[in-house]
């Protein structure tokens, strides 16, 4: 994928780079930098004139928005010199962060522009607590999304501040629906007639083929990664994982809902042929920043990070729909990406770093990024601002279709990549490789995941205490 598709657009699956791990090992073994000291109201120790390095994502269309926000910060804080450092999202971003930590000049702020959250670093004693700073400046934490601010605490300490929300939903090509005479799926998140069974039935009705060649797909691949296991309401891990922040146990090989959901996604590709294979997806996406924009996909499971691109669609009419319920009508299990800004201990200008971090979650900055870029703000007070801003770009959407997007976070859960210590390692080393085999048709979901369970548990044991 490319363009502004999602904050995961540039994830590179596979094992973590040796360079990044080695650099982080050196940083973790080095003497810890002093934590934010002093009583509430006391200025933290700092080198006031030192530049403030901000590690930001490049290659996803966000650079202009970051630069605009930083220009505004400079106007408000001319005394703070910001040094923006851009790195591609995914493993390249992780590696750059690890190298900066090992060099002794960690970034003043960073975000999970990859598959790794701040708790990965907090568990190694590398994250900077911002409790005293937030208290000193009377920062209003009640305006942040409740799930986001809850996830920003580690072992009772505030370690981060929420940045944005990327809820998931179904985007629909209304032109293809109308041409096929198929009713549009519901925009009501409480409509339990809209299940994964109904989704598949709808996808079949919207898939077209000439001979053995499919020319139009009813759906994209519902998920190419771990979220596929959530589609029927199951999970790979026990529920207390989201309280502890540590994946300590693997249950995906015994959870029938999880296995069934993965098989359902694979069958849509391999048996029902209503979703393109990974190779077919690449072919269809040639020349467009998103598979949905090819005009060959009737229903597209995605997130609102795509909106900046979708605003440019002229060749067909499109809209939004709620994510379907599991086949038994039980509660959905779907994820919302909630990013944050955080910092590593040892920044050379702690006061300047804090002023930048605090500004980036302020209303002034959030109106630029994430709101202008596409995702929703983590600030509850900017909910209506986001809608008004997007209405100017997306005049084709009805009130109900906007409501799909604004209500989505109510029905979705923070994802385990950002909010656990070891999900990124476990997923890249063992879970994702197993899922890739399922998508390629090398065996059933149950057989492959059962076979991989030992490796997944080894990855958990190796990573949970790091």
Distances (CA, A) of 40 to 132, 136, 138, 141, 149: 5, 5, 10, 16, 20
Positions of E strands within 136-207: 153-154, 157-158, 160-166, 168-173
How much is the pTM?
0.86
Q: What is the pLDDT of residue 308?
A: 83
How far out from the chain centre does Cα 8 lie?
6
Tell me the two tokens of residue 288. Answer: 């467009």
202-219 pLDDT, tens per residue?
Answer: 999 999 999 889 999 999
| Selection from 281, 391, 323 nearest residue 172 by Cα | 323
- In the chain, residues under CATH classification 3.40.190.10 are 18-164+339-395, 168-335+417-463
Length of the chain: 466
Q: What is the pLDDT of residue 153?
A: 93
For the purposes of burial, counting CB atoms within 10 Å of the CB of 81, is it exposed (0-12), middle (13-18) or buried (19 or more)?
Answer: middle
Q: What is the pLDDT of residue 384?
A: 92
161-180 pLDDT, tens per residue?
Answer: 999 999 999 999 999 999 99
Q: What is the pLDDT of residue 38?
A: 33
Low-confidence ranges of the chain (pLDDT < 70): 1-48, 465-466
Q: What is the pLDDT of residue 147?
A: 85
| Selection from 109, 108, 87 nearest residue 20 by Cα | 87
Cis (ω within 30 of 0) for the bond into 370? Answer: yes
**CATH of span 18-164+339-395:** 3.40.190.10
- Determine the topology of domain 168-335+417-463 in CATH: D-Maltodextrin-Binding Protein; domain 2 (3.40.190)
Listing DSSP states for 390-453 in one string gives HHHH-TTS-HHHHHHHHHGGGG-EE-HHHHSSSHHHHIIIIIHHHHHHHHTTSS-HHHHHHHHH
3-state SS assignment for residue 238: coil
């Amino acid at each position: 994928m490319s363009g502004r598709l999602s904050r995961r657009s540039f994830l590179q699956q596979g094992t973590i780079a040796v360079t990044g791990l080695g650099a982080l090992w050196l940083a973790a073994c080095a003497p810890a930098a002093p934590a934010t000291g002093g009583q509430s109201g006391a200025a933290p120790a700092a080198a006031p004139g030192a530049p403030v390095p901000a590690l930001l994502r490049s290659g996803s269309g966000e650079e202009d928005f970051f630069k605009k926000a930083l220009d505004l910060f400079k106007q408000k804080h001319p005394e703070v010199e910001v040094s923006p450092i851009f790195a591609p999202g995914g493993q390249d971003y992780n590696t750059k962060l690890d190298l900066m930590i090992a060099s002794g000049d960690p970034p003043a702020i960073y975000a999970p522009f990859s598959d790794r959250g701040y708790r990965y670093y907090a568990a190694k004693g590398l994250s900077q607590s911002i409790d005293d700073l937030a208290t000193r400046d009377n920062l209003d934490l009640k305006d942040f999304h409740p799930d986001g601010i809850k996830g920003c605490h580690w072992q009772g300490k505030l370690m981060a501040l929420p940045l944005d929300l990327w809820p998931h939903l179904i985007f629909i090509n209304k032109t293809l629906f109308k041409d096929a005479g198929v009713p549009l799926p519901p925009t009501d998140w409480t409509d339990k007639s809209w299940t994964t069974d109904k989704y598949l039935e709808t996808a079949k009705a919207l898939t077209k083929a000439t001979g053995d060649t499919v020319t139009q797909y009813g759906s994209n691949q519902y998920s190419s990664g771990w979220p596929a296991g959530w589609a029927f309401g199951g999970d790979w891990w026990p529920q207390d994982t989201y309280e502890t922040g540590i994946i300590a146990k693997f249950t995906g090989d015994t959870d029938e809902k999880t296995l069934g959901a993965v098989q359902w996604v694979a069958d849509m590709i391999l048996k029902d042929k209503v979703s393109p294979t990974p190779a077919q997806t690449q072919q269809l996406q040639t020349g467009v920043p998103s598979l949905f924009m090819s005009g060959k996909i009737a229903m597209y499971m995605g997130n609102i990070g795509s909106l900046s691109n979708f605003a440019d669609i002229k060749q067909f009419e499109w809209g939004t729909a709620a994510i379907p319920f599991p086949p038994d009508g039980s509660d959905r299990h779907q994820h919302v990406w909630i990013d944050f800004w955080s910092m590593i201990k040892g920044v050379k200008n702690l006061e300047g770093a804090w002023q930048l971090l605090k500004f980036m979650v302020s209303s002034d900055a959030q109106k630029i990024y994430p709101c202008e870029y596409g995702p929703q703000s983590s600030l509850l007070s900017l909910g209506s601002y986001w809608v008004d801003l997007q209405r100017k770009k997306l005049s084709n959407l009805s009130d109900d279709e906007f409501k799909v997007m604004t209500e989505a976070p109510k029905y979705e859960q923070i994802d385990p990549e950002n909010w656990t210590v070891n999900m990124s390692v476990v997923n890249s080393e063992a879970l994702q490789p197993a899922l890739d085999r399922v998508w390629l048709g090398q065996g059933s979901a149950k057989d492959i995941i059962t076979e991989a369970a030992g490796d997944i548990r080894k990855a958990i044991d190796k990573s949970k205490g790091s």
